[in-house]
Structure 1
Amino acid sequence: MTSSFNVQSAAGYEQLMGRWSRQLAPPFIDFAGVADGERVLDVGCGTGSLTFALPHAADISEITAIDFSPVFVEATIKANSDPRIEVQQADACALPFADASFDRAMALLVLHFVPESGKAVAEMRRVVRPGGVVAAAVWDHFGGMPGMRMVLDVAAMLDGNAEQVRSRYCFQPMMRPGEMMQSFVSNGLADVRQTSLLIRMDYQSFADFWEPIAAGEGPLGKYVGSLDAGMRTKLDAAIRAAYEAGQPDGPRSFAAVAWACRGIVPS
């Protein structure tokens, strides 16, 4: 499996997205459910937003966290002090676990970066016991991420090449309405339910918003890093103007919406 997420450093990811995935983890857990004594698999743990939130929600028996990126695996291992948590590098499309090994498999902000996302859902279903739960959440890049869309919409006005980047970003796997739910159903999960989860992304300044993207983190950072010096200067100025919106630089808050889906492995 490959991942379309561009990773430069764990610290850069934290500034770009980790702080927001930590906010999203508790409502995602509330929707997905978790119970005392369960064995839980965190698929695509990143820097541990979901992994480290789970023990606060229930008295978990064990948590196995996997990620495709060695950068994330190293960072999560370093941050971990809970003996119930084990972190390892693995492929979401070929999970190295026996059938029915877990009570729940959960994926927070991962499946839209997995090109074969349906295969990842099938693997999550395979490793969860009958009666157990598979759950996932992905950002709604098309309509639910106005801060990121602001960057791409401005870029598309300045650079014709950005139109294709915007299209790929807005319609990554599992992002169309009902797409993730249909994948859960087609992979044999029962009692499938979908909802949307809302948080806010609060930035202290334009630098707080722009620095990780400018440094090359994530899919937008990969695009920005590909620009020549002239276009980069134009884009930096235009994004700053859009962020500030005619007012002095300072705090801004953008809503952020994720699609969430859960289903039960049939008995």
Structure 2
Amino acid sequence: MTDPIRFNDGASYERYMGVWSQLAGAAFLDWLAPASGRRWLDVGCGNGAFTELLAWRCAPSALHGIDPSAAQLAFARTRATLRDAELCEGDAMTLPYPDDHVDAAVMPLVIFFVPEPALGVAEMVRVVRAGGLVAAYAWDMHGGGFPYHAVQREMRELGAVVPAPPRPEASRREVMEALWRDAGLIDVECHQLTVQRTFASFDEYWATIVGWDAVGRTIATMSPAASAQLQDRLRASLPADDHGRITYSARANAVQGRVPEPPAPR
């Protein structure tokens, strides 16, 4: 059994996942094509990587973010674009907002961390007004779409215990679609996002991996020989170009739906 993944360092998370989050988030917003002026809620906003995109691209009339990590929220508050956002500490399964509080709620790269994903979706439905948007995107963990899938694969091959989210199955497209339909949402649509990131060198890639606590701690428990072997295997599976750069893709599944309008009075 692996230790739970904890997000206690906004800066290291920014290097490890924040860049990927914004790449996927931009593609996600391209797909949603939301109208400006909405009241938004970012559930599991973390260090604000996606919340910042909402501020930049959606001209929100109000912007809320919630996350269980005080350290991640502290980093989010350093982003100038989020100075007017309301960021608070809390649980995705018990959102501290009244009914019909926002026009849109989104869960970016979070649903596989929610112990009861259906409850998290139900809470988003509750706080979004009738006709409003409920959406999410998540790395395709089972389909090999996670940005560091190669790292996880090679670590497992070497016998290391790889940190993993508690509910990876929630990232499956069919599971996400079922969660949205079961929550009573209408006009449910799914989409696959593919994004690409370039690292200047293998050294930058390696530093990014070991700089995040959840992975760095695991690699630190490996013998020097095993660590060196891991690097060799990663170099082979992620070949560099003529300039030493490493470029590869990651995939995420996305879903959106609308909160139904109440029936018209007879």
Tell me if both proteins adopt one fold, taking TM over 0.5 as the criterion: yes
SS, match of residue 35 in structure 2: coil
Q: Which of residues 237, 244, 250 in structure 2 aligns to 1:256?
A: 250
Cα distance in 1, alignment partners of residues 55 and 109 from structure 2: 19
Deviations, residues 63-107 of structure 1 (Å, cap 9, x unaligned): 001111111100011213455411111111110000110000011
TM-score by length of 2: 0.86
What does 1:1-267 align with in structure 2 at a 5 Å threshold?
A: 4-82=4-82, 84-145=84-145, 148-159=148-159, 161-162=160-161, 165=162, 172-218=168-214, 220-221=215-216, 223-244=218-239, 250-267=244-261
AA aligned opposite 2:126:
R
Three-state SS of the structure 2 residue aligned to 1:179 is: helix
Instruction: State the secondary structure of the residue aligned to 2:17.
Output: helix
| Percent identical | 32
Q: Any unmatched runs of 5+ in structure 2?
A: 262-266
Residue pair 1:16, 1:213 contacting (<8 A) in 2 also: yes
Q: Is the 8 A contact 1:15 1:212 kept in 2?
A: yes
Tell me the amino acid that sits aligned with residue 207 of structure 2.
E
Q: CA deviation at 1:180?
A: 0.6
Instruction: Say if 1:104 and 1:134, in contact at 8 Å, map to a contact too.
Output: yes
Structure 1 CA distance, aligned partners of 2:80 and 2:101? 22
Q: Please report how far the alpha carbon of residue 39 of structure 1 lies from its aligned counterpart in structure 2 after TM superposition.
A: 0.7
Cα distance change of structure 1 residues 109 and 228 upon mapping to structure 2, 3 Å threshold:
same
Q: 1:141 to 1:225 in 2, by over 3 A?
A: farther
2-structure distance, mates of 1:46, 1:8: 10
The farther-off stretch of 174-183 and 30-39 is 30-39
Deviations 1:27-76 (A, max 9, x none): 21232342232111011112222211123323310100111111110001
Q: Which runs of 4+ in 1 moved over 6 A?
A: none
Letter in 1 for 2:180: F
Distance in 1, matches of 2:167 and 2:94, equals 24
Describe the SS at the equivalent of 2:196: strand
Amino acid of the structure 2 residue aligned with 1:206: F
- Return the alpha-carbon distance in structure 2 between the equivalents of residues 32 and 217 of structure 1: 33
| Change over 3 Å in CA distance of 1:211–1:188 after alignment to 2 | same
Aligned partner of 2:264 in structure 1 is none
User: Counterparts of 1:223 and 1:233 in 2: how far apart (Å)?
Assistant: 14
Shift of 1:147: 5.3
| Residue 145 of structure 1: how far off its partner (Å) | 2.8
CA offsets, 1:157-203, max 9 Å, x none? 221x54xx48x569714222311110111111111110001110211
Q: Is the 8 A contact 1:141 1:171 kept in 2?
A: no
User: Which blocks of at least 5 consecutive residues in structure 1 are unaligned?
Assistant: none
CA shift for structure 1 position 134:
0.3
Taking a change above 3 Å as real, the CA distance of residues 171 and 130 of structure 1, as seen in their structure-2 partners, is closer
Which amino acid is the alignment partner of residue 41 of structure 1? Answer: L
Q: CA 1:60–1:72 in structure 2 vs 1: closer, same or farther (change >3 Å)?
A: same
Give the length in aligned residue pairs.
259
For 2:143 and 2:166, locate their aligned partners in 1 and report how far apart those are by CA, in whole Å.
8
Q: 1:114–1:173: 8 Å Cα contact kept in structure 2?
A: no
User: 1:216: Cα distance to partner?
Assistant: 3.9
